[in-house]
């Protein structure tokens, strides 16, 4: 008889994950079996890592930078990061405010370890990045969810933050994520100023997740532009873009608001801007005392980020801005193309995202007609709509209850494949026989 082993903790037993990676595994299995899958499920760049980053990594290997380094990061890299965020985002950082990590996601964990105690309340806007919740629950804290609404362009509800701070007895932290994954919404400077005014001087810590800081789009359509082909046109002018061209320092961070560096942790990554997702290179900006604490956390968990990776990131910041901005413009064109195609599909309502490379269409009328959940619809498009081809995307409920009735498409495929994906989607939702057969074998996706 084989022993079952020690019981897992309740946290480990109930741990949730980022669904994009689960769908990626299914998609790759289908591809290995010969199915043509248009992969729009995961937020990865289809472009190569920027040139100077690659060159610097080779040089670092040749120079023998293959040993341990300080847990907070190489001093010269931290100085370069501080200089960059001062110039681009107006954040008053020095090297003492910077900690280097393997991407941005790990700083969710360290933020929660630094600030949360069991029973503390944390405001999270939903749809939400899926790893926010497990990191909060890991500390025994309580997420308090507030919906982001399409009719408000997925901007944060400032009044809800004020209510949370004033009425929640254990209010301790707020999670922000703008530009927002999955909706593409962007908090305005006025939004961030108002949030800062509410929390400044309180015991509230703010986690500001900003991996899409170079993906702010100059959206020129009218503020109340038609969302689908059937909605009448309106002409009320939209707010002017924050600043200049795509890829310039138009991103607004709450850390740039007066005094907020002391209350915030900002998380950034090279994965999106410099196509370095597999390098696992990121950093956080915070107060010097918190940076010292997080450095200890890295020391006791990761030791350090490989120096080779850090030198690649340093070179990217110093030399690859032009290449980065060129790629960002390509992403913007992809977003515009995908939205344009989706607006041709009946019963689809979609905003032009103001940031990120995701498009988040509302498909609830289709789901109601077919009797399928939105993530069930996504899995049907991948697995059940056709034997030889599939489209991989995510149902909105992968990002929480507020995402129900939406789909998330990334733009990480060639343009012609984006067009093909939408055409496939438009045809697949009219194949009721295939939907019925899929639901018969996957009843968990039936709409309640």
pLDDT at 232: 32
Q: How many CB atoms lie within 10 A of CB 193?
A: 17
Residues of the chain with pLDDT under 70: 1-3, 18, 20, 219-249
Residue 25's pLDDT is: 85
What domains lie within the chain, and their CATH numbers?
10-39+324-430 (3.90.1150.10), 51-320 (3.40.640.10)
How far, in Å, CA of 134 to CA of 108, rounded?
10
For residue 3, the model assigns a pLDDT of 56
* Dihedral angle sign, alpha carbons of residues 238, 244, 247, 248: negative
Within 208-363, residue ranges assigned H as helices are 288-299, 307-319, 321-342
Residues in the chain, total: 448
CA 28 to chain centre: 22
Sequence-ordered list of residues with C-beta below 8 angstroms from that of 25, at least 6 positions apart, any chain: none
Distance CA 154, CA 210 (A): 16
Tens digits of residue pLDDT in 21-61? 778 788 889 889 999 999 998 888 999 999 999 999 999 99
Nearest to 395 by CA among 363, 436, 420, 423: 363
Buried b (16+ CB within 10 A) or exposed e, 256-281: bbeebbebbbbbbbbbbbbbbbebbb
Max distance between CA atoms of the chain, in angstroms, equals: 73
Sign of CA dihedral 145, 150, 152, 155: positive
pLDDT of residue 412: 87
CA distance 125 to 143: 10
pLDDT computed for residue 448 by the predictor: 85
Per-residue pLDDT at 238: 32
Q: What is the DSSP string of 303-330?
A: ----HHHHHHHHHHHHH-HHHHHHHHHH
Question: Can you give the pLDDT at residue 16?
Answer: 78
Long-range contacts of 55-61 (CB under 8 A, 24+ apart): 55/315, 56/311, 56/312, 56/314, 56/315, 56/316, 57/308, 57/309, 57/311, 57/312, 59/311, 60/307, 60/308, 60/311, 60/312, 61/308
Locate tokens 């901007």: which residue?
A: 155
Contact 139, 113 (CB under 8 A): yes
What is the CB neighbour count within 10 angstroms for residue 231?
Answer: 12
pTM for this model (two decimals): 0.90
Distance CA 335, CA 354 (A): 10
pLDDT digits (tens, 9 = 90+) for 324-379: 999 999 999 999 999 999 999 999 999 999 999 999 999 999 999 999 999 999 99
What angle is formed at CA 71 by the lines to CA 65 and CA 75, rounded to 5 degrees?
65
Half-sphere exposure of 289 (CA within 13 A, CB side): 5
DSSP 384: I
């Amino acid at each position: 008889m084989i022993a079952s082993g020690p019981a897992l903790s309740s946290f480990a037993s109930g741990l949730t994950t980022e669904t994009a990676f689960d769908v990626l595994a299914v998609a790759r299995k289908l591809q290995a079996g010969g199915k043509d899958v248009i992969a729009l499920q995961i937020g990865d760049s289809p472009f190569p890592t920027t040139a100077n980053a690659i060159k610097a990594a080779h040089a670092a290997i040749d120079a023998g930078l293959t040993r341990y380094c300080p847990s907070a990061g190489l001093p010269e890299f931290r100085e370069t990061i501080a200089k960059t965020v001062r110039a681009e985002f107006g954040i008053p950082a020095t090297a003492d405010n910077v900690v280097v990590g393997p991407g941005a996601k790990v700083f969710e964990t360290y933020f929660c370890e630094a600030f949360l105690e069991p029973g503390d309340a944390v405001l999270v806007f939903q749809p939400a990045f899926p790893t926010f919740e497990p990191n909060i629950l890991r500390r025994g804290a309580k997420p308090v969810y507030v919906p982001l609404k399409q009719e408000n362009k997925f901007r944060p509800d400032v009044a809800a933050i004020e209510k949370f701070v004033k009425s929640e007895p254990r209010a301790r932290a707020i999670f922000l994520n703008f530009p927002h994954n999955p909706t593409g919404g962007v908090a305005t400077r006025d939004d961030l100023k108002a949030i800062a005014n509410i929390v400044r001087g309180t015991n509230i810590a703010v986690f500001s997740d900003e991996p899409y800081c170079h993906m702010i789009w100059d959206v020129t359509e009218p503020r109340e532009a038609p969302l689908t082909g059937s909605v009448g046109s309106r002409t009320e002018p939209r707010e002017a873009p924050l600043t200049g061209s795509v890829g310039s320092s138009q991103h607004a961070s709450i850390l740039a608001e007066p005094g907020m560096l002391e209350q915030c942790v900002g998380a950034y990554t090279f994965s999106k801007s410099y196509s370095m997702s597999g390098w696992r290179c990121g950093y956080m900006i915070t107060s010097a005392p918190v940076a010292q604490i997080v450095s200890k956390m890295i020391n006791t968990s990761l030791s350090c980020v490989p120096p080779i990776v850090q030198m690649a990131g340093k070179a990217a910041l110093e030399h690859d801005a032009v290449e980065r901005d060129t790629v960002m413009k390509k992403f913007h064109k992809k977003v515009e193309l995908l939205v344009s195609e989706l607006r041709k599909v009946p019963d689809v309502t979609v905003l032009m995202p103001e940031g990120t490379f995701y498009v988040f269409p509302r498909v609830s009328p289709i789901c109601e007609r077919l009797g399928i959940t939105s993530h069930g619809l996504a899995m049907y498009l991948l697995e059940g709509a056709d034997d030889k081809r599939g489209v991989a995307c995510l149902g909105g409920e992968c990002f929480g209850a507020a995402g129900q009735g939406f789909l998330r498409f990334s733009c990480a495929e060639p343009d012609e494949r984006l067009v093909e994906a939408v055409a496939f989607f438009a045809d697949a939702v009219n194949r009721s026989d295939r939907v019925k057969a899929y639901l018969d074998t996957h009843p968990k996706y039936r709409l309640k």
